[in-house]
Structure 1
Amino acid sequence: MAKIALITGATAGIGEACAELFARENYNLILTGRRADRLEKLAAKLNKKYDTEVAVCAFDVRDREAVTTNFENLPAKWKKVDVLINNAGLSQGLDPIQKGDIDDWDTMIDTNIKGLLYVSRVVSNWMIKNGKGHIVNLGSIAGKEVYPNGNVYCATKHAVDALSKGMRIDLVQHGIKVTAIHPGAVETEFSEVRFHGDKERAKKVYDGFEPLVAEDIADTIFFVVSRPKHVNINELLIMPAAQATASNIVRK
């Protein structure tokens, strides 16, 4: 019987790369995201290419009722999730604290922290019932240090770091593994979302050096979840070769 991976934020970037890789490795998939059209298109592609079964759940992780309803309405066979990848997350704005947009703050807090919690609350209980599972939380270098104007985004990713450690402690007795993955600069839609669709400004973030790409993180996540049963990788910090810290990047 094929294993099942549930991936949030699967419509682009790291989530989409994970869907492709896990499908290739014979996982069946539950894919979530806000953009139903992208999810359906991705599901059809993966089914055709890898003959993988895909369940699609289109909702915003900020909506607690939508999270619960969509997941609990899945057929019983889909609730035997082996791997949960909490990938849904974003950054909004890059302003000093005194000039921050409160709507941006709410979006980041509700997505990066509360959304992760809503999903994990449901799926961790499935895993406890099944007696196994592995939760992978997407953190960030921003969860390990703070950089200028990163204030609230950094705070949310510090929360993900703390929640990952808390989950590890709470779930170890149930045979459930927990891993936090903390990437540095990854060229996805991340900066475009942060700058509210300003593609030119987003592109400049990656000028002069080779950033990570989504597939680098997907490869790492699959490595983590494919370790032997007795091995748990608690966390990994992954940076481009040109990036030493959040704000120390060698550009040419």
Structure 2
Amino acid sequence: MFEKNRLSGKVALITGATSGIGKACAEKFAKLGMKLILTGRRENMLVQLKDHLKEKYNSDVYILTLDARDGKKVKATIESLPEEWKSIDILVNNAGLALGLDKLYLNSLEDIDTVIDTNIKGILYTINAVVPLMLKRNITATIINVGSVAGDAAYAGGAVYCATKAAVKVLSDGLRIDLVDTNIKVTDIKPGLVETNFSVVRFKGDTKRAENVYKGIEPLTAEDIADTIVYVANLPDNVHIAEMTVLCKNQADGRTIYKK
């Protein structure tokens, strides 16, 4: 996969690791010999993933049952990690979601809070807990925020989600500026259509409606985006990718898609 594996033995923290892109990242990092801190809200799924990675790759995995929206708990939990697990080299801020495709003025207050708290505050809380640990060690480290092509321009029914992903881009840019005098790199990965349980969550369990999102086009997979994230994480110390947009064939941007 690479001319040189620079990741073996390093520690990666992945948020939202129980499914989709986060789970795929855990699999690929484990295959490269990394130690993993996996976070998510569903403890049973974290345990299953830990057991799977242990059996398949003999991976060293530490799980944290954590809701990224709970800032105080995020900070306290990461600060209370055993010393050997505080040596975080790679942070993948993957936790995120969309809810519904209602017009902006019809969004429920609960959905607005959930999307903003997860997609924006969740990233901020994790960054605020992890970056000081990286700076303390004065290491070359990489923070990868999973944004979206949706952050480039709004689409019908997606204004709140698009706004949160635009925020991920700006927060990534701002953090990169703030860390320019350090050895920490910051990358915003912006996927297009990726077939995961994302649409099932967006449509609150309506699997038929979710499946229709991907009909007539071959979407990206979680593994495709995980490959991109691993590529960025494995780059030489002097190479810093600020932003990467990853689209499937027949998708030009967040709103221009050709379906057969």
Where do 5+ consecutive residues of structure 2 fail to align?
A: 1-7
Matched residue, 2:169: 161
Q: Which SS does the other structure have where 1:149 is aligned?
A: coil
Cα offset for 1:249? Answer: 1.4
* Distance in structure 2 (CA, Å) of the matches to 1:186 and 1:92: 16
Q: Deviations over 1:141-200 (max 9, x none)?
A: 111111111111011000000000001011121210000000000000100101111111
Q: Which SS does the other structure have where 1:248 is aligned?
A: coil
* Distance in structure 1 (CA, Å) of the matches to 2:11 and 2:124: 20
Q: Deviations over 1:180-236 (max 9, x none)?
A: 000000000100101111111000000011000000000001111111111100000
User: 8 Å contact 1:93–1:101 — kept in the other structure?
Assistant: no
Moved segments of 4+, more than 4 Å: none
Where do 5+ consecutive residues of structure 1 fail to align?
A: none
Please give the TM-score of this superposition, normalised by the length of structure 2: 0.95
Q: Deviations over 1:82-138 (max 9, x none)?
A: 000000000011111121111111001000000100000010011101112110000
* Distance in structure 2 (CA, Å) of the matches to 1:130 and 1:30: 18
Q: 1:212 aligns with which of 220, 225, 247?
A: 220
Q: 1:54 aligns with which of 54, 61, 66?
A: 61
Cα offset for 1:79? Answer: 0.6
Answering whether residue 124 of structure 2 is matched by residue 120 of structure 1, we say no
User: 8 Å contact 1:113–1:160 — kept in the other structure?
Assistant: yes
Question: What is the aligned residue count?
Answer: 252
Q: Deviations over 1:36-60 (max 9, x none)?
A: 0000000011011111100000010
Opposite residue 48 of structure 1, the aligned amino acid is E
Identity %: 52
Q: 1:36 aligns with which of 26, 43, 64?
A: 43
Answering whether residue 249 of structure 2 is matched by residue 244 of structure 1, we say no
* Distance in structure 1 (CA, Å) of the matches to 2:108 and 2:159: 12
Q: 2:107 aligns with which of 100, 106, 122?
A: 100
Answering whether residue 223 of structure 2 is matched by residue 193 of structure 1, we say no
Q: Deviations over 1:50-75 (max 9, x none)?
A: 11100000010001122122211210
CA RMSD of aligned residues (A): 0.9
Matched residue, 2:5: none
